[in-house]
């Protein structure tokens, strides 16, 4: 049921007489305003008009399979049985069923214990949701003793959460306290028991409105998420619960509505094989090569709330809704929304501050080229890597990649491989400036890369994130755009320039990187990416290195290299031409192979995938990298590298040459020309058109 219909039904008093809906009251708690749960039940996840629609939802052709799955779950698991019976009570008002459901739920709560495994509080937190559903939906049947019992057990379970109870621990920008424990579990339980025990709601809602909400309303206009290809959808999925919880309670949309655009990041970075371009910590053990990567409820709930068919289509590519989330699909999915494929979407997507990311594609089919370019205006730490200035390229297989493993034989989060390699700049297609005397926190190796923002401590609040002394700001967007017609769905080019100086320590005076993606619209050479860098070091002796990572061993010939993708059905080819430093003044070398896959400062930090299933998992750690460095030490250097992308069998490489015009340098790729400023690092002209 949409919100307009809900309000229309809510305006009808008993007997059909029209009455204005009572506005939701708000109150101040510890310096922050929060909405007050209305004095009625149910008010958690749905209200009376939604209940009247529930019987029809159970039989709707789109939702009926969901209901049938819930019913099957109920026969196998007592926790899901309680929730399913609560749904049946709302539909049929069978008081005998209701009383039995209350008794069963209270028994489950009393028996619930923190299991002995990683992230155990997710189990006890989900049990809080079960208790909250029964308490709220069956509230008229509860005895005073049962109310006391529920409150006692919900508080006990709240104290098992990592954030503690009261929920004051951990951060509100990243980390586990930005997942279910506050945004769903305590908030849900608090709303259910508010009349009898307002403390839990006031604590959970107070922290959400004080800390979680400002951070998200600040970064949502960037239309992206900072936690990567795996944790990004996971964390955003939890952020949607307050959206629906407060809206269904009657408070409306508490978020900045720019939230609706966040999942487009994962739509644009989705590869033809269903995987996504790598970003941050990738838990590939949870995904297979032969199946598109899921988005949990991230796309579905956003699509349903904002009426977005593109996001519904993205969800339906792999509608992997977990058992514990299926009840929310039943309650909140818009079953009448129609999916819409992305075919008419613009092929370039820009994610503004605090991100500064661009994704450019040549299409949506199997032969699409996808290029990602990053500035990183801010680095949020946690599952985000030190990859300001990174790029990736995909065409018929991953060609220029983010390398390394998140979880493997080296260990999980914070393993030696993470700390010394996969989190670090050297594992990405970035720039290194090596000060031999530089030290990094966590006793990390000197990779020559970017610094750990605030010692890689997670920002607890938006205020901490924005405080300049903490160093979370790592870049600035200088220019971005598409052309020659900026309104074209398939532009000929896209460009992005960023100042990356803040990402590095005082070993640099300035680092500026410019990207130009050329959609060549030629089946034999569909696209090219030109990358121009101006790097000024604090000491001429600090060696500068330009990086490109690959899955397979590159072939190097002078100032050129070829990267092929031949494994797992890949047919892509990347042809690299290094124009600056000019031939004879630079070294282009390859590093990798057994024993050197993840080498940093002469030491390899190995890690092998934990999953052993014939290569079906999605691990792409890479094993090779190209390093381009000037032969002569200098305070300032410019790099200009052109990468053409094509089919390994049917493609052709276009001629590439250097253009030098005074204090400008550029490249000609076939009949396309791009010019950059040697003094500012910015792109200045593309295809004869001035760029500002």
The catalytic position among 139, 383, 417, 428 is 383
Nearest alpha carbon to residue 656 among 590, 559, 567: 559
CA angle 441, 444, 117 (to 5 degrees): 90
The question of whether 428 is a catalytic residue gets the answer no
Beta-sheet pairing, 508-519 with 586-592: unpaired
* Torsion from C-alpha of 239, 240, 243, 245, nearest 10 degrees: -100
Nearest alpha carbon to residue 399 among 525, 250, 574: 574
The two structure tokens encoding residue 93 = 């008002």
Helices (H), 489-621: none
Whole-angstrom distance, CA of residue 124 vs CA of residue 109: 9
The catalytic position among 89, 231, 421, 472 is 231
The two structure tokens encoding residue 114 = 């923190």
Is residue 368 within 8 Å of 386, Cβ to Cβ? no
The question of whether 383 is a catalytic residue gets the answer yes
Residues in Cβ contact with 544 at an 8 Å cutoff, skipping those fewer than 6 apart: 431, 432, 433, 434, 535, 537, 629, 630, 637, 639
The question of whether 60 is a catalytic residue gets the answer no
Residues in Cβ contact with 639 at an 8 Å cutoff, skipping those fewer than 6 apart: 431, 531, 532, 533, 535, 544, 546, 578, 580, 581, 628
Task: Give the DSSP H/E element, type plus range, for residue 105.
Answer: helix 95-111
The full 3-state SS of 385-422, as one line of letters, equals CCCCCCEEEEECCEEECCCCCCCECCECCCCHHHHHHH
The catalytic position among 50, 139, 176, 313 is 176
Instruction: Match 């209270």 to its residue by tokens.
Output: 106
Q: Where are the beta strands (DSSP E) in 401-475?
A: 431-434
Helices (H), 194-336: 199-207, 213-219, 228-249, 264-268, 298-306, 309-317, 326-332
CA angle 195, 197, 200 (to 5 degrees): 115
Would residue 104 be called left, alpha or beta, if left means φ above 0 and alpha means ψ between -120 and 50 degrees? alpha
Does the bond joining 166 to the residue before it have cis omega, within 30 degrees of 0?
yes
CA diameter of the chain:
89
Is residue 213 within 8 Å of 32, Cβ to Cβ? no
Nearest alpha carbon to residue 558 among 588, 525, 532: 588
Is residue 631 within 8 Å of 302, Cβ to Cβ? no
Q: Reading across the β-sheet that carries 555-557, which strands appear in turn?
A: 476-483, 493-499, 508-519, 527-537, 636-647, 572-580, 560-564, 555-557
Catalytic (active-site) positions: 176, 231, 383
């Amino acid at each position: 049921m949409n919100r307009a219909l809900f309000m229309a039904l809510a305006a009808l008093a008993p007997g059909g007489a029209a009455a204005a809906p009572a506005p939701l009251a708000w109150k101040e708690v510890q310096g922050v305003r929060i909405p007050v749960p209305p004095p009625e039940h149910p008010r958690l996840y749905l209200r009376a008009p939604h209940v009247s629609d529930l019987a029809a939802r159970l039989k709707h052709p789109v939702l009926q399979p969901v209901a049938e799955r819930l019913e099957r779950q109920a026969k196998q698991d007592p926790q899901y049985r309680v929730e399913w019976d609560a749904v049946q009570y709302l539909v049929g008002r069978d008081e005998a069923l209701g009383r039995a459901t209350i008794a069963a739920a209270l028994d489950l709560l009393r028996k619930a214990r923190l299991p002995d495994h990683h992230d155990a509080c997710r189990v006890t937190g989900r049990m809080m949701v079960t208790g909250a559903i029964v308490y709220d939906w069956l509230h008229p049947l509860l005895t005073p003793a049962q109310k006391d019992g529920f409150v006692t057990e919900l508080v006990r379970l709240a104290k098992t959460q990592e954030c503690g109870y009261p929920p004051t621990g951990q951060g509100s920008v990243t980390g586990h306290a930005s997942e279910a424990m506050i945004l769903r579990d305590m908030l849900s339980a608090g709303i259910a028991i508010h009349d009898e025990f307002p403390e839990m709601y006031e604590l959970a809602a107070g922290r959400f409105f004080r800390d979680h909400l400002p951070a998200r309303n600040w970064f949502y206009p960037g239309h992206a998420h900072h936690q990567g290809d795996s944790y990004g959808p996971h964390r955003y999925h939890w952020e949607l619960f307050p959206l629906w919880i407060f809206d269904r309670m009657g408070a409306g949309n508490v978020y900045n509505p720019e939230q609706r655009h966040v999942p487009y990041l994962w739509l644009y970075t989705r590869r033809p094989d269903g995987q996504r371009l790598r970003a941050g910590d990738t838990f590939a053990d949870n995904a297979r090569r032969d199946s598109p990567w899921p988005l949990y409820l991230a796309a579905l709930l956003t699509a349903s709330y904002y009426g977005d068919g593109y996001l519904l289509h993205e969800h339906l590519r792999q509608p992997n809704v977990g058992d514990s989330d299926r009840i929310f699909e039943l309650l909140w999915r818009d079953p009448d929304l129609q999916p819409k494929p992305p075919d008419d979407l613009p092929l370039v997507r820009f994610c503004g501050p605090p991100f500064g990311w661009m994704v450019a594609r040549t299409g949506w089919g199997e032969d699409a080229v996808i290029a990602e370019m990053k500035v990183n205006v801010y680095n949020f730490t946690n599952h985000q890597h030190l990859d300001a200035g990174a790029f990736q390229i995909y065409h018929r297989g991953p060609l220029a990649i983010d390398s390394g493993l998140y979880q493997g034989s080296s260990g999980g989060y914070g393993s030696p491989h993470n700390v010394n390699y996969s989190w670090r700049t050297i594992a990405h297609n970035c720039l290194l400036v090596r000060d031999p005397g530089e030290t990094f926190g966590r006793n990390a190796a000197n990779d020559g890369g970017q610094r750990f923002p605030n010692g890689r401590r997670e920002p607890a609040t938006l205020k901490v994130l924005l405080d300049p002394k903490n160093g979370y700001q790592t870049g600035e967007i200088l220019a971005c755009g598409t052309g020659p017609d900026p309104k074209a769905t398939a532009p000929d080019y896209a460009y992005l320039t960023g100042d990356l100086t803040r990402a590095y320590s005082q070993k640099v005076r300035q680092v500026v990187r410019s990207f130009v993606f050329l959609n060549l619209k030629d089946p034999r050479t569909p696209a090219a990416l030109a990358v121009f860098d101006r790097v000024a070091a604090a000491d001429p002796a600090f060696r500068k290195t330009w990086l490109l990572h690959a899955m397979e061993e590159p072939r190097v010939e002078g100032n050129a290299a070829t990267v092929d993708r031949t494994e797992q059905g890949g047919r892509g080819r990347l042809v690299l031409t290094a124009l600056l430093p000019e031939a004879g003044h630079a070294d282009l070398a390859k590093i990798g192979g057994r024993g050197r896959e993840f080498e940093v400062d002469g030491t390899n930090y190995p890690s092998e995938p934990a999953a052993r299933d014939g290569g079906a998992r999605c691990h792409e750690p890479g094993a090779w990298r190209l390093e381009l460095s000037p032969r002569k030490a200098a305070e300032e250097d410019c790099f200009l590298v052109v990468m053409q992308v094509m089919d390994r069998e049917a493609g052709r490489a276009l001629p590439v040459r250097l253009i030098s015009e005074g204090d400008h340098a550029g490249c000609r790729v076939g009949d396309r020309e791009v010019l950059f400023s040697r003094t500012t690092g910015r792109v200045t002209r593309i295809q004869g058109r001035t760029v500002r």
